């Protein structure tokens, strides 16, 4: 029997296999997979529940997964970029849906989905659906793109608003796992176009692996760190440091009448940023305008609870640092001490 759709380059049977793979690899809500829409029952116990949503992708970082033939962690990045934004508004992640498009649905999609499933596990979110699109002529057989959509929940009175952050609040930074998923167009230009490095290059600045190991380190997911603080109402504001670095993202958590004063000497910066600055001939100001510089989240808390928050965050390992305070604004919204 002829199959005209398959003759055009689309094999719907591959999509059925992907749905079966996901069902067999998640522990809850598997009945949703393969339906026309994902279903989720709003948890009880909220007086005025507010749903907070986020969608995002991973940018050109995905190109490096093809070069290094490592596809099983990029899904973690996709989940992280969505749920960390939700956490930054004081919400608990509930569920996630993915969208993967490619020229040919084959084994690479299962590898990508392994990362999505792991990311949902780390986030404490259910994977309730998604879409895998086979689009020949739009993509080559090996290329792909991935995006995600996530929803979280918060009590309306506890949503983190810009007005919550006040002059005198202390700023706490929580360590990133490296570059996360931002700035990769510049990263690729610096390392691969301007300096002709390879993914397996061993750089003297990078002491724990080759260049590819650092560039494909998955974005950190902060559910385990942030949710206990939210439950105790210990946080006034959270900034997720993504594209645009400190100067774009930190002011998003407070009003335009105040500013953040941050001492950049107060935390340990991962080696990858030293390498980028050196080989890219970038100024310190450029670095803080583009990258997270070793901090994935910046929290604003009352000085009365600063030590309590640090104690909670640093219970198992040193990952959080006192980095500054909120001051009255006289000039720019972010003042970085030690950066010209």
**Domain residue ranges in the chain:** 10-158, 162-337
Average pLDDT over all residues of the chain: 93
pLDDT at res. 155: 97
pLDDT of 13 reads 55
Q: Is the dihedral of CA 246, 252, 254, 258 positive or negative?
A: positive
Q: What is the pLDDT of residue 29?
A: 57
- Per the document, the length of the chain is 340
The two tokens of residue 148 are: 């995600």
**Nearest CA to 181 among 275, 97, 296?**
296
CATH topology of domain 162-337: Phosphoribosyl-aminoimidazole Synthetase; Chain A, domain 2 (3.90.650)
Q: What is the pLDDT of residues 128-139, one digit of tens each?
A: 999 999 999 999
SS3 at position 108: helix
Cα-based distances in Å from 222 to 67, 218, 226: 28, 12, 6
How confident is the model over 252-293, as pLDDT tens digits?
Answer: 999 999 999 999 999 999 999 999 999 999 999 999 999 999
Q: What is the CATH number of domain 10-158?
A: 3.30.1330.10
pLDDT digits (tens, 9 = 90+) for 5-35: 455 555 555 655 656 666 666 766 556 666 7
Q: What per-residue confidence (pLDDT) applies to 151?
A: 98
pLDDT in tens, 183-216: 999 999 999 999 999 999 999 999 999 999 999 9
Reference 100, options 109, 111, 91; nearest CA is: 109
The arithmetic mean of pLDDT across residues 297-309, rounded, is 98
What local confidence, expressed as pLDDT, does residue 5 receive? 47
Which tokens sit at 104? 């040919």
């Amino acid at each position: 029997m002829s199959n005209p759709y398959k003759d055009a380059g689309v094999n719907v049977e591959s999509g059925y296999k992907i749905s079966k793979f996901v069902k067999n690899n998640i522990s809850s809500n598997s009945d949703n997979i393969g339906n026309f829409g994902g279903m989720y029952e709003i948890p009880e116990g909220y007086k005025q529940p507010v749903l907070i949503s986020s969608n995002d992708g991973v940018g050109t970082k995905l190109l490096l997964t093809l070069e290094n033939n490592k596809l099983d962690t990029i899904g973690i990045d996709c989940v992280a970029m969505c749920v960390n934004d939700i956490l930054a508004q004081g919400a608990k992640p509930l569920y996630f849906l993915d969208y993967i498009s490619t020229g040919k649905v084959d084994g690479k999609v299962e590898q990508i989905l392994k990362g999505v499933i792991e990311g949902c596990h780390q986030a404490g979110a259910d994977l309730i659906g998604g879409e895998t699109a086979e689009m020949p002529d739009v993509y080559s057989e090996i290329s792909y793109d991935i995006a995600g959509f996530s929803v979280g929940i918060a009590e309306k009175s506890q949503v983190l608003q810009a007005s919550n952050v006040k002059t005198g609040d202390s700023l706490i930074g929580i360590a990133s796992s490296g570059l996360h998923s931002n700035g990769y167009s510049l990263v690729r230009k610096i390392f691969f176009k301007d300096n002709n490095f390879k993914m397996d290059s061993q750089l003297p600045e990078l002491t724990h692996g080759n260049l590819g190991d650092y560039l494909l380190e998955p974005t950190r997911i902060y559910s385990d760190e942030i949710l206990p603080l939210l439950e105790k109402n210990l946080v006034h504001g959270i900034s997720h440091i993504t594209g645009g670095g400190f100067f774009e993202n930190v002011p998003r958590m407070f009003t335009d009448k105040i500013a953040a004063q941050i001492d950049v000497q107060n935390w340990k910066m991962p080696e990858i940023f030293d390498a980028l600055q050196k080989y890219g001939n970038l100024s310190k100001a450029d670095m803080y305008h583009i990258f997270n510089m070793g901090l994935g989240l910046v929290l604003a808390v009352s000085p009365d609870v600063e030590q309590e928050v640090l104690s909670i965050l640093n219970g198992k390992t040193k990952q959080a640092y006192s980095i500054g305070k909120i001051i009255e604004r006289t000039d720019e919204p972010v003042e970085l001490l030690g950066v010209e």
